[in-house]
Structure 1
Amino acid sequence: MKRILFIALIASISLTSCNSDNAFTITADQVGPLTKDTQVSELKTLFSKDSVVDQNSGLSEELNVNAIEIYEKGGEQLLSLMPTKEGSPKTIKTIQIFDARYTTEEGINLNSTFKDITDAYEVSRVETLISSIVIFVDEINAYFTIDRDELPGELKFNMDAKVSTAEIPSDAKIKYFMIGW
């Protein structure tokens, strides 16, 4: 009997947290109702009012090459989740944010600029890629991709140039917002 009450309590807390203001909050340990300990098997319950599209089946399930996508009823994509490749039970390794309602406690979301990020957090490092740069913020386990087209002159076209935080324009827009645990 105690076990049934405990399970009911956990289920009601989970459902309540999905409907609360925390449904779109991002912290170092949470993205909406997700935590680093959330199991893939719990996703349909956590997002019961949304659509969970799990493309992992057959060979792709063995290799874990496909993401699990979360869509709001009505069609807008909220998140794309990449499960861990090893271990059981499977948990979430990375989360790509698609909806600007997902916001950090400091107000950072998909509509933020590089200046917004640097005003709110300390940039841990910058990685230069061929067509973009990646800004890492270890404090919240996040990384932000900014397209090279947002960079000034020479940096936009010199694929070998290492980009520093001082060279990124304040108004550079975020292309991708990811959380990695």
Structure 2
Amino acid sequence: MIKKNILPIIAIAFSLFVISCDNTSKFKIEKGKVGALTTTTTIKELSTIFKNDSIVKNLSEGAQGDNYFQEDDEYFIFEKGGKLLLTILPKQQLDSTSTIKSIEINDVRYTTASGINLNSSFSEINANNNINRIETTLTSATLFLNDLNATVAIDKEELGLKELITQKVTKEQIPDLAKMKSFIVWFN
């Protein structure tokens, strides 16, 4: 009697384990990989990979267009319900066979093996990643993370610096609690 009752319990436990493993890999960030997306994924494969989500395309006009300010195609991946997950830029514009140039992470569920996500502070990023260099722009400091081939931008307000000044920023100047403004994984 006990053996008959334990079999369904084992089947349910195994099913839950498989589902939870699949869900964590869906939101995992590694070098050359974001969820199911890899360096070999093409733009036309996005509709298959994100078949349960919505894809909004913002296409450039290419060399023939008059919009000189939009140089890259953008593919926005929205979860059902409207939550923005990812912003994807292809290497070649107006080409569905192009591979991916970069992926901007827009959802906190996307996480690295060391636990870094959009809500991570500078101290967490610094402790778990090798920051190769820091470049400053007019509004932010960009950290280059070689172990993920990623960049993290931190707003100058978080650093206590005035905007519109391209003053060089060092790791020591960044407060431990500074939050990231953007997180981009590069596929080049």
Q: Under TM normalisation by the shorter chain, which class is it?
A: 0.7 to 0.9
Q: Kindly provide the CA deviation profile for residues 140-175 of structure 1, in whole angstroms up to 9, marking residues without a partner as x.
A: 0111010000113xx335713100011100100001
CA contact (8 A) 1:24 1:103 kept: yes
- Greater shift, 63-72 or 86-95, is seen at 86-95
Contact preservation (8 Å) 1:150, 1:156:
no
Partner in structure 1 of residue 156 of structure 2: 148
Alignment of 1:31 with 2:34, yes or no, is yes
Q: TM-score, normalised by structure 2?
A: 0.79
Aligned residue in 2 for 1:68: 75
Residues 67 and 81 in structure 1, CA contact (< 8 A), matched pair in contact too: yes
Distance 1:62 1:107, change over 3 A: farther
Q: Name the larger-Rg structure.
A: 2
SS in 2 for 1:130: coil
Comparing 122-131 and 155-164, the one that deviates more: 155-164
Identity over the aligned pairs, expressed in percent?
A: 40
- 1:177 matched to 2:183? The reply is yes
CA-based RMSD of the aligned residues comes to: 2.3
For residue 140 of structure 1, give the secondary structure of its aligned residue in structure 2: coil
**Alpha-carbon shift at residue 53 of structure 1 (Å):** 1.4
Give distance in 2, aligned partners of 1:90 and 1:44.
14
8 Å Cα contact 1:50/1:72 also seen in 2: yes
SS of the aligned residue for 1:133 comes to strand
Give the secondary-structure state (helix, strand or coil) at the position aligned to 2:147.
helix
TM-score where L is the length of structure 1: 0.82
The one-letter amino acid of 1:104's match is T
Q: Given the alignment of the two structures, is residue 122 of structure 1 paired with residue 130 of structure 2, yes or no?
A: yes
> For structure 1, which runs of at least 5 residues remain unmatched after alignment?
1-15
Alpha-carbon distance in structure 1 between the residues aligned to 2:53 and 2:133: 35
Match for residue 53 of structure 1? 56
1:168 to 161, 170, 174: 174
2:86 to 79, 85, 91: 79
The number of residues matched between the two structures is 162
1:108 Cα deviation after fit: 0.3
Distance 1:73 1:157, change over 3 A: closer
Larger relative helix fraction: 1
Please give the per-residue CA displacement for 1:46-96, whole angstroms capped at 9, x wherever unaligned: 011101112227x35978623001000010000000001278830110100
| Counterpart selection for 1:90 from 98, 108, 117 | 98
Q: Mark the runs of 5 or more structure 2 residues left unpaired by the alignment.
A: 1-18, 66-70
